[in-house]
Amino acid sequence: MSPDGWRWWPQRMASQLGVLLLLALLVSNGVAMLVLQRAGTLLHPLADAQALERLAIAYQIATRLPPVQAQPLLAAMSSGKLSVQRAPSAQVAALDMRTEERRLARQLRRTLGLGEATPVWMQLERVDGSHARVQVLHPSGWAPLRLRSSVRLPDGQWLNAVQHPAGGYEWRRLLAYSLPVSTLPVLLIAYVFVYRVVRPFRCLAQATEQVSRGEWSTPLRLSGPREARELTAAFNTMQERLGRHVESRTRMLAALGHDFGTPITELRLQLELLPDSPERQDMLDSLAELAAMVRETLAFVRDDAQHEPLQRFSLTALLEALVLRYRRLGRTLDWSGAPPAWCLGRPLALKRALSNLIDNAFVHGGGAELTLRADDAHGWRLEIRDHGPGIPEEWLEQVMEPFVQLAPADAAQPGHRGGMGLGLAIARACIQAHGGELVLENRTPGLCAIVQLPGVPAA
């Protein structure tokens, strides 16, 4: 089934389990109804005993008293639920009785002390004459029961009786009682259990979301079932190791940058003392390129270890501030405005990332155009489009790797790399740390940088 076909299905585990338990209880009650209707005892035990007792009394009256005296007493016994009379013929025909009817006939013979040769016919049916065990889903399956009996008297007459005993399974009453009694406690207990199970996973999901944005959380408390505690402990261990790894990498690269800076400076001073020549200038350019590579590498690492606090900020206001800054620098940035858009993250880091993308658009595309709109799948979709020739399709993903950059004039030659090539890598790392995604896409004309960011509700 397509996802659209499951829109009515609850998304949370507790709600799903509640619905499944409710359906299971309804199905179990339905199955019980079907099984009991087909194989259970249809008569209530009290109604069963009462019906046989009435028949036994009527039989004693009919056999021990003269017909003139017996007839008024039998008429007096007749009421709304019992009709009994002497008759020359049996109202119930001789037929193959079913299990419950044979049981009733045996009990009556035992009570009256009759032999097996004495005809005792029983027929249990619905008041409309249909089979007593008609399908429960059929309207007749809900009709009251009727017990018809014919017993042969010693004088050759028949004692015919019609009774309306209480059924053993009056489904309306049973379901009205059993469904609330069986459903509410089960759902309550299941809710408490599921809440205990789900709460650690909910906390774990929130902490994972924080870590994905680069925000380290305090170690989570171990709670819930054993599996939840083990998963939480593994998450705490993973977060601790990641923190140590990032911190040690930052310290190591900072130390390398410091150590590289000293020999680079010494080499530059020594080169400055040499006579001016093409070789000297080449070596100075190489040293400058090496120094720039060290600086940009450290900047890339520092962005990973950025400790700017998370805050709720206006993405629209951030973009308007960028547009104003570029216009003050004499660069026209096409921007027609956007509806209020709010995000959760680090505005300064995101501003630097977007500046890198806009600078690329100006350098490689001759201009930049900004558009911002709502995106149902991700929250907000920001497009930064230039007016240049674009880049080869096979390099759309590779140019966002560190130290990979295509020169504008040599875009058709993927083997040529210019500059340090860290701008797009830093931008993508920052956007991904905000829970978003950066995608490059060729347009006609130009290259479009698509930034997808999760949104938060307006204040």
Pick the CATH number of 311-453 from 3.50.50.60, 3.30.565.10, 3.40.50.620, 3.40.50.970: 3.30.565.10
Run of H or E residues at 148 = strand 145-152
Q: Which two tokens stand for residue 88?
A: 């020359």
Pairing of strands 368-375, 333-335: parallel
pLDDT at residue 108 in the model: 92
> Rounded CA gap, 352 and 122, in Å?
94
The H-or-E segment that residue 124 falls in is strand 120-126
For residue 439, give the H/E element and its range: strand 437-442
pLDDT of residue 382: 93
Q: Which of 382, 116, 349, 122 is nearest to 213 (CA)?
A: 349
- Distance, in Å, from the CA atom of 420 to the CA atom of 161, rounded to the nearest integer, reads 106
SS3 397: coil
With beta carbons less than 8 A apart as the criterion, state whether 243 and 287 touch. Answer: no
**CB neighbour list of residue 385: distance below 8 Å, 6 or more residues apart:** 361, 365, 368, 369, 371, 443, 446, 447, 448, 449
Alpha-carbon Rg for the chain, nearest whole angstrom, is 44
pLDDT for position 152: 93
pLDDT of residue 134: 63
3-state secondary structure of 37: helix
Contact assessment for residue 169 and residue 186, using Cβ atoms and an 8 Å cutoff: no
pLDDT of residue 417: 40
Which CATH architecture best describes the domain 226-304?
Answer: Orthogonal Bundle (1.10)
With beta carbons less than 8 A apart as the criterion, state whether 204 and 220 touch.
Answer: yes
Buried b / exposed e across 70-82, counting CB within 10 Å, b at 16+?
beeebeebeeeeb
Q: What is the DSSP letter of 156?
A: S
- In this structure, are residues 108 and 147 in contact, taking their beta carbons and an 8 Å threshold? no
Q: First and final CA of the chain: distance in angstroms?
A: 38
How far apart, in Å, are the Cα atoms of 1 and each of 4, 6, 23, 198?
8, 8, 20, 27
pLDDT score at 459 = 61
Q: Phi and psi (nearest 5°) for 185?
A: -65, -40
At 381, is the secondary structure helix, strand, or coil?
strand
Query: What pLDDT score was predicted for residue 1?
Result: 43
Work out the angle between the directed axes of helices 13-39 and 171-212 (0-180°, nearest 10).
Answer: 160
How far is 307 from 300, CA to CA, in rounded Å? 14
10-residue mean pLDDT series, the chain (459 residues): 56 72 78 67 80 91 88 84 88 83 90 90 84 64 82 91 77 65 76 79 82 74 83 88 78 72 80 82 80 69 62 91 88 86 87 89 86 83 89 86 62 43 81 87 88 82
User: Looking at residue 416, what is its pLDDT?
Assistant: 39
Dihedral in degrees, nearest 10, Cα atoms 240, 246, 250, 252:
80
pLDDT value at position 410?
A: 43
User: Where are the chain's structural domains?
Assistant: 41-168, 226-304, 311-453
**What's the pLDDT score for residue 241?**
86
Topology alike, domains 226-304 and 311-453: no
Tell me the residue ranges of DSSP E strands in 167-243.
Answer: none
Q: Which pLDDT score, from 0 to 100, does residue 450 have?
A: 93
Q: What is the 3-state secondary structure (H, E, C) of 316-344?
A: HHHHHHHHHHHHHCCCCEEECCCCCCEEE
Q: Omega of the bond prior to 67 within 30 degrees of 0, cis?
A: no
- What is the rounded distance in angstroms from the CA atom of residue 416 to the CA atom of residue 395? 12
